[in-house]
Structure 1
């Protein structure tokens, strides 16, 4: 399954299939001639398909596989709470620590090293260093937003503190009615519109994956980050002027 996921993420899947003809297939045992012939026929038949058809098929497979993974491995959304000690002083955090909203009033919280000083952001109080987890964020109250994940060692001021604009965080961004994913300051614009107001973030820490979904009906896969994590991960949100975001989870069933 993971080999298929990697194939679905390739820019040129036909090239990958062709390369496999001189790679893994050459390692088969002498008694596997029939398997080799089937693989060769598959490669021959693939050569007659157009790239648009292959890419569409693989994207569909990727969508199905990633959605199935979530349903198999997770039963209940994580009960994510925002850490007020990380919240910017113009970011209001609700009493249940689920809603982050822009405020025109200075919150007068103490200036401590954990607090964001440049951007209206907050991290979760929970951190994850193993296992599979997911939660949802309602982004309907904000025209511009970032949702994602971050190491606790992220900077707290300057451009390097913005989620996704450093090598310690990963973000999904809505800006000017466009969407992108970003890590280490390198963004990839997404050729889609997010239909619903709710984003699902899925983390498989041990496999090194952060996956974003649009919770429309049916649920739609957006993008995957793949890496090797070196620190615990916190959920993170950034709110634009006048906006608010709500974290959903804790009593949600799949």
Structure 2
């Protein structure tokens, strides 16, 4: 009972975090073509600058391999330093173009130019107050996803279907970051304004039908619904919806 109450509180905190960041990273601006080689992001979930990059990735429908680098982490921080020369995040590595980029504004501009084939939209352009508001958002979520916690390391990276503004998905990403569990982040942001709202109560009434031919449509054809977070673990064969179930699974399977 107490765990359920605590989880609901965390969800409300995560909703507040999304509100402080103006719900960026929910709607797709332009569905970019996935590159031949996966993008790699060395990332800290609670970092407001990393969040800006993940928002842009969602808006472009781009998938990315996440290498979690929480404070106190020992798994990917040294690797990031070996690649870029310092432990500063976010760090984007794109083997398709040979680019290695720090600085969230530079990464966001690069993603929209290289993969969106367009300038950065106004909503995603850097504003002087954004880091402060995003930091408040991280504080509201008790800085989950900031510090490393003991845990086991999977042999293979996990797969998470998510979009940045989803409060429920954020709870799972926070846990994965703290446990330094690598995962492929499959972004399935909302492709049309009629999809706004929770999975069971969207703005448009009636049975849900995703935009034909998109990433959401492919997910719908496979699972019969579009709901995030959705986690697949190739190490165990588990496939789970619902943030509370996923968090329980991660603690039981990979907790220290």
Q: Which entry has the higher C-alpha Rg, 1 or 2?
A: 1
Structure with the largest fraction of helix: 2
- TM-score bracket, shorter-length normalisation: under 0.3
TM-score, normalised by the number of residues in structure 1: 0.26
